[in-house]
Structure 1
Amino acid sequence: MSSSSTLEQASDEASKLNVQKGDHFQGAATPDFTDMIHLQDLPAEYVPEIGKHRKEGRLVIVGDVHGMRDSLQKLLHKLKFNKHHDHLVLAGDMISKGPDSPGVVDLAMKYGATGVRGNHEDRVLGAYAAMTAEHLEMPSVPDPDEKADKTQDELEELSYSHGDYKDRALVRALGKERMEWLKKCPVILRVGDCGSMGKVVVVHAGLAPGVTLEKQDATMVMNMRTIGKDGVPSDGREGVHWQEVWNKYQDKLPKKQKTTVVYGHDSKRGLQLEKHSMGIDTGCLKGGRLTAVVIEGAHSDYKHSIVSVGCPDGRHS
């Protein structure tokens, strides 16, 4: 079967998902022990205005930071970001892997940013929920120079898988205040109507075409990369890239129903700018770039631009 035929079939299947497979995409199917916020509307005051007498202000949506605090600061400096009239949105995977996850969250809190829950936040929040249930004590404001208790670390490493141990170590590094901030980050952020861009939504990984935001599967929203021939999203790379199906589906909708989704998650594909989707994970952690979509109002419509900065390799910092 040709790639165009596969895309057509996947798009046709996706258009039936809200009827045939609605239960599969219920967010409630995701474990609820982390008090997950599934869907949240961006406050209207943060959405740029259009018109002759519009107030000054931009919406700055940044891709995967992964603990690269200095790169985020560099990008905001390049943008001449002003927290008094601009608003920052971080599209998930703000933390983990890079050199300064606490510093990234501190910057987000300092600037009054809105975060979206990515797969890495989800993992660490799961560890935080488990540690809280086990009544493990954590410092409210951890001292970065304070060495962890070696005996306790050894016991935890024996008790949990290596991945979970690393997640718990990051929880301790972040501390309660930062973890509580991360806990308030929704899986789906609905920005609202942005003129010719349609309705704008920010997620970490992707959205399933033909499924309402309320019924999207939270796990897939944070992890998906492809959609199979049966129309079901997957975190694997076999199948059609989900955004291809998404854009084809959006093209069939009436103008007032079209949605543009801004997402990260897939650094291997890099910058992906299509009519109804913008992929902005450009591999900052790996020495690539940190990228933002900047949305601002004009006289009669909204306009957007892409701004990025180069990053050092942060994997071994």
Structure 2
Amino acid sequence: MESTLLLPKAHHAHSKRTATFPKLLVAPTLVSLAILSSLYVVPPLWQFVLETTDSFAKPSFPDFSQYQPMRTIAPEELGLNNPDRRVIFFGDVHGNNVALSKLLDKVEYDSTKDTLIHTGDFLTKGLDSLGTIQHLAALNASGVRGNHDQRVVEWRGWLDWVAGQPGGQEWLELTDDWSKKKMEADKKKKGKKHYLPDGWKWNDEHRKLAAKLNDVEYNYLRNLPLVIHIPSLHTFAVHAGILPIDPTRSTTNRRQPLARAPEPEHPSMSLVELRNQQERALFTDIPQNQDPWVTLNIRSLTDDGVVSRSNDENPWSDLWGEVMNRCDGFDVDDDLVGPGQTMRIEGRAELKGKPGPLPCHPITVVYGHAATRGLDLKRWSKGLDSGCAYERELTAMIVQGAVPKHKAQSSEAEAEESLDDEEDDMKKKKPSETVFGAHTKARIVSAPCH
């Protein structure tokens, strides 16, 4: 059983960076191809060319991005009240189906007991993207879209749209037969710069893979959401990341969802329901989290709080940890929250005065995308992209069902001490476990990608 939450369309600056196919201008390509191959073109293609050319300035395209709403995984779907059940998160596979198989063997994956959740970017860069998606689709693995997966979705949407036009399929077949060299020469000759959006090339691997997917594989990819919410674990899974606050506002601004206790929708709401409500508010009340570009691409924040793909700015996970460490339950007195102007990020101005507690409960984020940073296990964020795309490792994090609290962590202080030891271990060797949630641990398992 699952529920959905629509992600509203964003209207801020980052949306400009989403080079999606609705910007596509195809008429120059079609006209030049039709002229140069007039002896071989069937009549319907001329109709397609003319219809497309008539609307050249403002073509009407469908939504090739096909973003899916947030998926919420219900507690009964995971069954973590059973100690034999597990949730297995794993990082960016990038087309390395051999490494994926090795990892699943190493964790002793059992489809009757385990739930698989990947962090996206399981396609491209590796040698067997098609085999990887076939594998994951056959396993019915849960997961989120990555930025590379998104490009495959858009390419396939565009290809299907063209194929559905009169003569479109013939044109696609003709274009596939045309060498890249001739296409580039014709492009320069005609002075046409808009065969495709900036940065997109006809012969790139995303288009080639998109053209090979059958309906089952494409539907698996297209149905992946940008975000998975797991209320029973108070956890989000996302490809690149999310923000705990709008960094352009004061941390204690009442518009920040973690700066105010959630208002009960009815008098009998439980604590679990209230936490669920506040967690979902991160996506309805924080504008950056409403932008698909952010969830697919964020790596850091500038000193001014602007989202960036760069690895050289302040990691967004640092901000996440700072905010979560201030969460002190819904009973926090408003007078204790404090008047801080902005959350401190290393390299930015300090808060005026000591940061006060916030009326929230901590939330864990599991993500990928940041291969440069490698395995990045912090208290409230778990970065699992350990560089499989660069022949390093593919990593899984295993959360076991019904672990007694006294067998994991008896207190938050002990959890913090354990995490300090874990971070020391990461500097020396690969960790075998990580603190997860409030009072438990998760096992870390890796497989080679070379």
TM bracket, shorter-chain basis: 0.7 to 0.9
Q: Answer yes or no: is 1:227 the counterpart of 2:321.
A: no
Give deviations 1:129-184, integer Å, cap 9, x for gaps. 111211269xxxxxxxxxx9686242688355764432211112223321111000
Match of residue 210 from structure 1:
245
Is 1:125–1:183's contact at 8 Å kept on the other side of the alignment?
yes
Structure 2 partner of 1:179: 218
Q: Tell whether 2:404 aligns with 1:299.
A: yes
Cα deviation for residue 25 of structure 1 reads 9.0
Partner amino acid for 1:232? V
Report the equivalent of 2:203: 165
Selected match of 2:114 from 86, 91, 94: 86
Q: Which amino acid aligns with 2:145?
A: R
Tell me if 1:247 matches 2:282: no
**Normalised by the size of structure 1, how large is the TM-score?**
0.78
Query: Larger % of strand: which?
Result: 1
Residues 57 and 156 of structure 1: is their aligned pair in 2 closer, same or farther, counting only changes over 3 Å? farther
Return closer, same or farther for 1:124/1:57 CA change in 2, 3 Å cut-off: same
Q: Which runs of 5+ in 1 are unaligned?
A: 1-21, 138-147, 313-317
Query: Which residue is equivalent to 2:139?
Result: 111
Residue 115 (structure 1) shift: 2.0
Deviation at 1:105, TM superposition (A): 1.2
Q: Which amino acid aligns with 1:95?
A: L
Deviation for aligned residue 1:59: 0.5
Query: Are residues 110 and 45 of structure 1, via their aligned partners in 2, closer, same or farther at CA, if it must alter by over 3 Å?
Result: farther
Q: What is the TM-score of this pair, normalised by structure 2? A: 0.56
C-alpha separation between the residues in 1 aligned to 2:311 and 2:320?
Answer: 16
SS at match of 1:262: strand
Instruction: Confirm or deny: 8 A CA contact 2:394 2:448 kept in the other structure.
Output: yes
SS at match of 1:170: helix
The total of aligned residue pairs comes to 273
- The answer to whether the 8 Å contact 2:94/2:389 transfers is yes
**Which runs of structure 2 are paired with 1:46-125 in the superposition (5 Å)?**
46-50=77-81, 54=82, 56-125=84-153
- Structure possessing the higher relative contact order (Cα contacts under 8 Å, 6 or more residues apart): 1
Local SS of the residue matching 2:178: helix
368, 373, 393: which one aligns with 1:269: 373
Q: Choose 75-84 or 300-309, whichever is displaced more.
A: 300-309
Which has the higher Rg, Structure 1 or Structure 2?
A: 2
Partner of 1:152: 176
Partner of 2:388, secondary structure, is: coil
Match of residue 3 from structure 1: none
CA contact (8 A) 2:240 2:367 kept: yes
- Counterpart selection for 2:68 from 16, 37, 43: 37
The equivalent residue for 1:193 is: 232
TM-aligned CA deviation for residue 124 of structure 1: 0.8
Listed as ranges, the gaps of 5+ residues in structure 2 are: 1-9, 21-62, 166-171, 184-194, 247-281, 330-359, 406-438
